[in-house]
Amino acid sequence: MWGKSKFFSKAALLILLSTLSAGFFSCATPQQNPNQNVEISSPKPVSIFIAKGLQGQLFVKSVTVRNIKGNTVIQFSVVNEGYNPITFLYKVDVYDINGLLINYPTLRWVSAQIEPQEERIFKVVIPYKLSQIDKITVKLRQPAN
């Protein structure tokens, strides 16, 4: 009898800790596709990551991916639905068919500011043909303090 109660108390503790830790860690990680109504026009899969601190304020409204003169051009619009200006960083990662990150000259976090109730369009030109790209990730995050 003593063994069963000890087992159940350990199992209950393990379940409680896993539930608490899952909630704790999910607060610190970005969520994929927080915007369910994003208009995506792309022959390649596009993922959107918005850091937790910006969710509910910034929304990616649309993403368009095109091949122009041998370059891949990615345009995305961001909307500030808040009542204050927001400074944020954005980056576009592109991956080849082997799942490796393609390193292009402008691959870095770029600072931007958007006014309240404003929509802005951002454009990233990648010097690779669209046929060389397998998937694309648009990321938004807060600047480090």
Q: Residue type for 82, please?
A: G
Identify the pLDDT of residue 6: 59
* 20 or 57, which is more confident: 57
Provide the percentage of residues in the chain whose pLDDT is more than 90.
Answer: 68
* 109 or 13, which is more confident: 109
Identify the pLDDT of residue 37: 79
Instruction: Give the mean pLDDT of the chain.
Output: 81
* 31 or 56, which is more confident: 56
Task: Give the domain ranges of the chain.
Answer: 1-29, 33-141
> Left, alpha or beta for 69 (phi > 0: left; psi -120 to 50: alpha)?
left
Q: Whole-model pTM?
A: 0.73
Report DSSP state, residue 12. H
Provide the percentage of residues in the chain whose pLDDT is more than 70.
Answer: 75
Q: Does domain 33-141 have CATH number 1.20.1260.10?
A: no
Task: List the one residue out of 4, 58, 53, 63 whose CA is nearest residue 29.
Answer: 53
Q: Residue type for 119, please?
A: E
